[in-house]
Amino acid sequence: MQRRAFLGVCAALLPGFAGAPTASAAASPRSAGAAEAPAAQSTAPSGGGWPDRPIRIVVPFGAGGVADLVARTVGKALAERLGQPVVVDNRPGAGGIVAGRIVANAAPDGSTLLLLSNGTAVSEGLFARLPYDARRDFVPVSTLGRFDLAVIVPATSPFASLSELLEFARRRPGRLNVATVSVGSTQHLAAELLRMTAGVEFQVVPFTGTPAVLGALRGGHVDVAVEILAPMLPQIEAGVLKALAVMGAARSQALKDVPTVAESAHANGSAAGSELAGFDVSSWNALAAPAGTPPAIVERLNRELRQVLESSAVRDGLARLNVQAMASSPEELARLLDSEIRRWQDVIARAGIPLQ
């Protein structure tokens, strides 16, 4: 069911996917010849009459992933409310730097927005030099949603729970191989944080992407994976994989019987229980505008996004992606970004991950 729901969302939002056209500009891929917006001017518009042109959401990921589909789902509904097209412009590469640079240099007129993610915060600690400062060069608008990461093993794994897996890692340091996607990804850092917080040793093995992680897990080349839950759900529902725990503070709506890391660590008197109390890692997406965007535009955007994220159509659409709709104030988003930057900088330093 989750696989059909996910493919249905792709067909609804991605032109050409399974032959399904779309009517919204937000549902189109990066438009041909889309150019970077001009550099910010010394005087910004007051916000009166906004929006008077199409709005572009620059997404630091390729088309078809969860973050991209979140932007398209929200953008389609936002376009209907604003009366202007909302175009998703996919600009993957360099850990989100390509997309971030475009928006940091865009005119602060509300026509160019950046899809923020955990990766925005991670990049602040992972790269020695960035062409922008995530806290200074962007104006927070609102969060859009959060989605789960999970600890996943093959269905044939001898581990029936996370507590069993951690106890094995404690008895056999370095024996377990844990697959994640590339170095510095949320999945990679979540695995490192789990290792350090639980006080165990295992080998974190980064792969180039989710398909490679899945292949290694199914082929028995690794023992466990830390991965975003949504793309793994079809394999879990088919009985090929099993989720031992989700990594957020609350159980996933898609797998209500699967405990959180904190819950699982307390089971059976695990030695890691106290260390993992309060463990909470999830992925999230948000929107930001270039620094200098008039407060009136930011306030209007925030107000419209709140309405969009409260609509049942959008909430249901995001739920099919295993994303929980979540609006915020600009101030709340600023605090989230700041706390995430500090947390991942600390994890990167403690794990000894070299700066890029």
93 lies in some domain: yes
**Distance of alpha carbon 118 from alpha carbon 121, whole angstroms:** 5
Summarize the confidence of residues 242-249 as an average pLDDT. Answer: 96
Q: Based on the domain organization, do 6 and 142 belong to the same domain? A: yes
Q: Measured between alpha carbons, how far is 109 from 121 in angstroms, rounded to an integer?
A: 24
Q: What single letter denotes the amino acid at residue 44? A: A
| pLDDT, the chain, mean | 88
Judge contact between 78 and 47, C-beta under 8 A.
Answer: no
Residue length, the chain?
356
User: Which residue, among 209, 216, 173, has the nearest Cα to 188 in the 3D structure?
Assistant: 209
Q: Which of the listed residues 218, 248, 269 is the one where a domain comes to its end?
A: 269
Q: Residue 125, class by beta-carbon neighbours within 10 Å (0-12 exposed, 13-18 middle, 19+ buried)?
A: buried
pLDDT at 176 over 70: yes
Q: Specify whether 142 is located in the same domain as 286.
A: yes
184 belongs to a structural domain: yes
Please check whether residues 14 and 142 belong to one and the same domain: yes
Same domain? For 262 and 227 the reply is yes
CB 259 within 8 A of CB 251: yes
Asked which of 269, 300, 325 is the last residue of a domain, the reply is 269
38-47, 169-178, 213-222, 259-268: segment of lowest average pLDDT: 38-47
Tokens of 5: 């729901």
More confident residue, 36 or 345: 345
Q: Domain holding 185: CATH number?
A: 3.40.190.10
Is the domain of 227 the same as that of 181?
yes
Q: What pLDDT was estimated at residue 95?
A: 81
Mean pLDDT of 250-268: 87
Question: What DSSP line would sit under 95-130, residue for residue?
Answer: GGHHHHHHHHTS-SSSSEEEEEEHHHHHHHHH-S--
Is the pLDDT assigned to residue 79 strictly greater than 90? yes
Tell me the one-letter amino acid at 6: F
Same domain, 296 and 311: yes
Burial of 145-156, coded b for 16+ CB within 10 Å and e otherwise, reads bbbbbbbbbbee
- Predicted confidence at residue 267, as pLDDT, reads 63
pLDDT at 170 over 70: yes
Q: Are residues 263 and 338 in the same domain?
A: no
Say how far apart CA 179 and CA 226 lie, in whole Å.
6
Which of 38-42, 172-176, 197-201, 346-350 comes out lowest in average pLDDT?
Answer: 38-42
User: Helix crossing, 118-126 with 186-198: angle to 10°?
Assistant: 70
Residue 246: which pLDDT band, with cuts at 50, 70 and 90? very high
What average pLDDT does this structure show over 284-299? 98
**Helix 66-82, helix 312-319: angle, nearest 10:** 170
Is 130 among the domain residues? yes
Q: Does some domain include residue 35?
A: no
- Tokens 């360099």 appear where? 94
Here the CATH number for the domain that contains residue 112 is 3.40.190.150
Measured between alpha carbons, how far apart are the two ends of the chain, in Å? Answer: 40
Q: Is residue 309 in some structural domain?
A: yes
Lowest mean pLDDT among 42-51, 189-198, 278-287: 42-51
Do 203 and 301 sit in the same domain of this protein?
no
Is residue 43 included in any domain, yes or no?
no
34 within domain boundaries: no
The reported pLDDT for the residue numbered 264 is 85
Counting Cα atoms < 13 Å in the Cβ hemisphere of 121 gives 25
Residues 173 and 238 in one domain: yes
**Element of type H or E holding 316:** helix 312-319
Mean pLDDT of 131-150: 97
Q: Is the pLDDT of residue 312 over 70?
A: yes
Distance CA 71, CA 61 (A): 11
Tokens (6 digits) for 147: 């989605």
Q: What is the pLDDT of residues 202-233, one digit of tens each?
A: 999 999 989 999 999 999 999 999 999 999 99
Phi-psi region of 306 (alpha: psi -120 to 50; beta: other; left: phi over 0): alpha
Final residue before a domain boundary, out of 269, 291, 313: 269
280 or 13, which is more confident = 280
Asked whether residue 49 carries a pLDDT value surpassing 90, the answer given is no
Residue 224 structural domain:
148-269
How do the residues of the chain divide into helix, strand and coil, expressed in percent and rounded to 5?
Answer: 40, 20, 40
> 27-31, 165-169, 277-281 — which is least confidently predicted?
27-31
Say how many domains are in the chain.
Answer: 2
Residue 274: inside a domain:
no
Tokens 């059976």, located at residue: 268
Predicted confidence band of residue 34 (pLDDT cuts 50, 70, 90): very low
Same domain for 80 and 143: yes
Say if residue 8 is in the same domain as residue 92: yes
Residue 305 CB-half CA count within 13 A: 28
Q: Is the pLDDT of residue 162 over 90?
A: yes
User: Which residues are registered as beta bridge partners of 260?
Assistant: 246
- Which region among 9-18, 83-92, 327-336 has the lowest average model confidence (pLDDT)? 9-18
Asked if residue 247 and residue 232 are part of one domain, the reply reads: yes
Measure CA 321 to chain center. 12
- Can you tell me the distance from the alpha carbon of 211 to that of 208, in angstroms, rounded to the nearest whole number? 8
Residue 269 has pLDDT above 60, yes or no: no
For residue 9, name the pLDDT band (cuts at 50, 70, 90): low
Q: Which one-letter amino acid corresponds to residue 262?
A: A
